[in-house]
A and B are shown apart, each in its own frame.
Chain A
């Protein structure tokens, strides 16, 4: 019996040695975890921020523009469907300190406000592992226009407001990505336009990207402001910001052509102040252009 066992053992051993190129390949190929790339093509969707940040040592120059109402009282052919007006204009720079950390500055026409932003990628979706990404976003804005009345801004602090958001995003397929972004907006009492409105506001943003061609995507986002902490018996007729657009990517440029009811570009401006509605012609055309500059040395090629 012992002899039989010995024979069996030898037999298995010799079978095991009868390997080929394919079986060795399978053994030595290790599974490496790669971070999911390009959940969104750009750090901005229509109105909201996405989970994307600038690449390390990359500088992006941003231009955003919002025209006037297409329809309603201020629209129609008298204003060439709003194209005669610029309700807001944003110029800004974003810089990637690392692949995870981006800082930016910008200036908006609305309220002559200057803003500074920080974005940090807390979690990064992986191709086989972690199923979603989380990015933290913070933006502070400083209103520099002349006060409308003498006592509008009692002190300099009354001109400042802050917005914080956590962006949870997932790339479901190469062509479909979604995000859900809870946020909180803080402002001084002096900036509250409607006496009944809450000083600080909870918001919830949702957004998505649908690739229709390799370099062309449909983008949309919606932000709940009404229906959360904001009272619903206000004098002012506030609406939730909603935008749809087309995003076109060509090398280092991203072009976004979009429609939205919000008149303003930065979250600090559109979250408390969106009074236009899609239903009464308050929708407007807008566009955004970004140009990417690679400022880093050629160190990525470290082989």
Chain B
């Protein structure tokens, strides 16, 4: 009697945990994030190739994170100022985006498809709801996915203060470019 009860419980548990549609995940740990600030005195550009991201192509979930300290600048002193004075990287180490695609990602098509990701964009510890335009292209082998995106970040939206003194001169709106090659996670 006890053995039958066991089998019944186990049967239900196994049914409950079995997923009829296996979710498909794509990941990258080397997404490139570049930003560009154009100002009269000096153009400032920085790049990180250490962006980490995961996409669930089944339900459209995306998570993206990049460490502020991983950004490289042309001038070492700029990099220090960026971390120390603007981003306060010790307090707020990451920039991140967590959201969901509006509509389905078609993993069977290898044509570039425009997808909007809607979600929470966090920089300098301040989160904003954003809709980011993204272009996705599936690789012909079905195992890779390229992603690219371009959007703007307003410093004032994220409480990034720009002093109006002397030689510091930084644009109030920063252009951000993201490029990533995702690989399927083998199940």
Residues of A within 8 A of B (CB): 3-4, 7-8, 10-11, 14-15, 17-22, 24-25, 28-30, 32, 34, 37-38, 55-56, 58, 99, 127, 174, 214-215, 249-253, 292, 294, 298, 300-303
- CB neighbours (8 Å) of B67 from chain A are 32, 34
Residues of B with C-beta under 8 A to A29: 29, 52, 65
Contact residues, B130-187 vs A (CB, 8 A): 161, 163, 165-168, 185, 187
**Residue of B at shortest CB range from A252?**
B77
Assess the B18–A14 pair: CB atoms within 8 A: yes
Q: Tell me whether B73 and A21 are in contact (CB under 8 A).
A: no
Complex interface: chain B residues within 8 A of A99 (CB)? 76
B185 touches A24 (CB 8 A): yes
Q: How far is the CB of A207 from chain B (nearest CB, A)?
A: 19
Shortest CB-to-CB span from B62 to chain A, Å, is 7
Instruction: Point out the residue from B29, B80, B81 that lies within 8 Å of A30, measured CB to CB.
Output: B29
Within 8 A of A (CB), among B65-101: 65, 67, 69-70, 72-77, 79-81, 83-85, 88, 90-91
- A7-B11, A14-B18, A300-B73 given. 8 additional CB < 8 A pairs? A7-B10, A18-B17, A21-B25, A21-B55, A24-B27, A25-B53, A29-B29, A251-B168
Q: Is B120 an interface residue (CB 8 A)?
A: no
Are A24 and B70 neighbours in the complex by a CB distance under 8 Å?
no
Number of A-B contacts (CB under 8 A): 116
Residues of B contacting A14 in the complex (Cβ-Cβ under 8 angstroms): 14, 17-19
Query: Would you call B54 and A55 a contact (CB within 8 A)?
Result: no
Can you name 25 A-B pairs with beta carbons within 8 Å?
Answer: A4-B6, A8-B10, A11-B13, A17-B187, A21-B54, A21-B56, A21-B63, A25-B65, A28-B29, A37-B80, A38-B80, A55-B77, A215-B163, A249-B85, A250-B165, A250-B167, A250-B168, A251-B168, A253-B166, A300-B76, A301-B45, A301-B47, A301-B72, A301-B73, A302-B72
Interface residue? B118 (CB, 8 A)? no
Determine if B32 is an interface residue (Cβ-Cβ < 8 Å).
Answer: yes
Q: Which of B54, B75, B83 is A300 in contact with, Cβ under 8 Å?
A: B75
Asked whether B52 lies within 8 Å of A10 as measured between CB atoms, the reply is no
Give bound CA distance, A253 to B61, whole Å. Answer: 46
- Given known A14-B18, A55-B77, contact A24–B25 (CB-CB < 8 A): yes
Q: Write the chain A residue with the least CB distance to B52.
A: A29
Residues on B lying within 8 angstroms of A by beta carbon are 6-7, 10-11, 13-14, 17-19, 22, 25, 27, 29, 32, 45-47, 49-50, 52-56, 61-63, 65, 67, 69-70, 72-77, 79-81, 83-85, 88, 90-91, 161, 163, 165-168, 185, 187
Q: Which residues of B contact A58 (CB under 8 A)?
A: 76-77
- CB nearest to A292 among chain B residues: B77
Residue of B nearest to A299 (CB): B74
| Chain B residues with CB under 8 A of A303 | 32, 47, 49, 72
Q: Hey, which chain A residues are within 8 Å of B6, CB to CB? A: 4
Judging by beta carbons under 8 Å apart, are B74 and A301 in contact?
Answer: yes
Residues of A within 8 A of B70 (CB): 32
Instruction: Report the separation of the CA atoms of residues A174 and B22 in the bound assembly, to the nearest whole angstrom.
Output: 46
Q: A28-B52, A251-B167, A303-B32 are in contact. Are A34 and B76 (CB under 8 A)?
A: no
**Shortest distance between the CB of B161 and any CB in chain A (Å):** 8
- Min Cβ gap B39→A in Å is 12
Bound CA span A30–B185, Å: 17
Residues of B within 8 A of A4 (CB): 6-7, 10
Chain B hits for A56, CB < 8 A = 76
Which of A11, A28, A215 makes the CB contact (< 8 A) with B85? Answer: A215
CA distance A302 to B17 in the complex (A): 47
Residue pair A15, B17 in contact (C-beta under 8 Å): yes
Q: Write out the residue numbers on chain A whose beta carbons fall within 8 Å of the beta carbon of B13.
A: 11
Contacts of B75 in A (CB 8 A): 294, 300
Do B61 and A21 touch across chains, with their CB atoms under 8 A apart? yes
Q: Bound state CA distance, A282 and B45, in angstroms?
A: 49
Which residues of the other chain, A, contact B10 by a CB distance below 8 angstroms? 4, 7-8, 11
A251 vs B169: C-alpha distance in the bound complex, in angstroms? Answer: 9
Residues of B contacting A22 with CB < 8 Å? 63
Residues in chain B near residue A32, CB distance under 8 A: 50, 67, 69-70
What residues of A have a CB within 8 angstroms of the CB of B185 in the complex?
Answer: 24
User: B14 contacts which chain A residues (CB < 8 A)?
Assistant: 7, 10-11, 14
Shortest C-beta distance, B91 to chain A (Å), equals 7
Contact between chains at A18 and B19 (CB < 8 Å): yes
